[in-house]
Homo-oligomer: A and B are copies of this chain.
Amino acid sequence: MTKCSVYVATSLDGYISRRDGSIDWLNDCNALVPKGEDLGYAQFMSSVDALVMGRNTFEQVLTFGTWHYGDTPIVVLSRQLKSLPEDVSDTVSLSADEPGKLVERLSARKWKHLYVDGGLTVQSFLSAGLIDDIIITTIPILLGEGKPLFGPLPNDVELEHVSSQAFEFGFVQSKYRVVKSA
């Protein structure tokens, strides 16, 4: 089965960005990270066959200026968008599929590992019981409001803690496995 992982940073109060989408606070904190420390990102990315993200996250990615994803395919989930900007990398495709349908379709392409990114997309995959792993890096700040990583769920989701690592610059990264009910 194709595995779906979340790899994300949040404030201690669980936000992935401010309400307007800005991640100034994350950039400020990232400035404290020593050169060469990538919190396992490169290793994680090398295990991934494709990224799945919502339109909001994708639009934020486009503002970064540099392309962080190399040749890794990106599927942008949107029911509204009919086409992608012309100058976008040809590794990017658009889909209006429901999470379950999408995973099934990408699985048929022999994509074994998907990186699911963005609050609403993570929430819809979690609600559909499709997330296997969550790697969450907690940034030592409280924002008070913003876009939350997690949202409503149809049921409790039981997790298995895999490992945690505290970095000397104050970030704490924890890995969890989602316990799938039999």
Contact with B along A90-119 (1 / 0, CB 8 A): 000000000000000000000000000000
Q: How far is the CA of A134 from the CA of B141 in the complex (A)?
A: 12
The number of chain A residues touching the other chain, given as a range, is 35 or more
Q: Which of A14, A160, A163 has the most CB of B within 10 A?
A: A14
A127-164 near B? 1/0 per residue, CB < 8 Å: 00000001010101111110011111111111111011
| Copies of this chain held together in the complex | 2
Q: Roughly how many angstroms separate A50 CA and B126 CA in the complex, as a whole number?
A: 41
Chain A to chain B: the 6 pairs with minimum beta-carbon distance, closest first: A144-B153, A161-B170, A13-B150, A140-B159, A142-B157, A164-B166
Q: B residues within 8 A CB of A150?
A: 12-14, 142, 144
Instruction: Chain B residues near A143: list those with CB within 8 A.
Output: 153, 156
A33 within 8 A of B: no
Partner-B contacts on A (CB < 8 A): 12-14, 25, 126, 134, 136, 138, 140-145, 148-161, 163-164, 166, 170-172, 174, 176
B153, B160, B161: the one within 8 Å of A166 (CB) = B161
A163 and chain B: residue at smallest CB distance: B166
